[in-house]
Amino acid sequence: MSNVAPETRSVVVERRMPHPPEKIWRALTQSALLEEWLLKNDFEAVAGHRFRFQGNWGDVEGEVLSVEPNRMLSYSWGDQVLKSVVTWTLTPEDNGTLVRMEQTGFPTDQPRYYGGAQAGWPRFFDNLQRLLKAME
């Protein structure tokens, strides 16, 4: 038996958004707003809170791992097979915020999850940008 962890891959999406970190933070952490751009949920931005995202393709379970208001949010994201971590980082810039999402932990032997995240996260970012514009 080998003690070497299986090789994993990550998906990273970064976008500059013309909104302050505080506004983006609300969209990342308030359940009603999350439902508008991501998935139906019972999310709370409290370390240790267990939650579920519900999509038409299935459910995702998670636990909030780390919360730094208006700066960084990290939570587990998975099901019976996938055990990944999603980390959001908000970096203030002159004309808005650099929004970075990194999802780590995709096993190389489960390409469906990796492909789904590669296709899904840019669409979720598009939804997030539409919501933020509508919140003005």
Q: Which structural domains are found in the chain, ordered by start?
A: 10-134 (3.30.530.20)
Query: What is the per-residue pLDDT for 78?
Result: 94
Percent of the residues in the chain that have a pLDDT greater than 70, as a whole number: 96
Does 95 score more than 70 pLDDT?
A: yes
Q: What is the pLDDT of residues 25-84, one digit of tens each?
A: 999 999 999 999 999 999 999 999 999 999 888 899 999 999 999 999 999 999 988 999
For 7, phi and psi rounded to 5 degrees?
-65, 140
Global pTM reads 0.93
Instruction: Give per-residue burial for 107-128: e unless 16+ CB within 10 Å, then b.
Output: beeeeebbeebeebbeeebeeb
Query: What is the per-residue pLDDT for 3?
Result: 56
Question: How far apart are alpha carbons 67 and 45 in whole angstroms?
Answer: 7
> 135: pLDDT confidence band, cut at 50, 70 and 90?
very high
Query: What is the per-residue pLDDT for 69?
Result: 98
DSSP single-letter state for residue 44: -
Does 1 score more than 50 pLDDT?
A: no
Asked whether the beta carbons of 31 and 41 are under 8 A apart, the reply is yes
Which has the higher per-residue pLDDT, 5 or 7?
Answer: 7
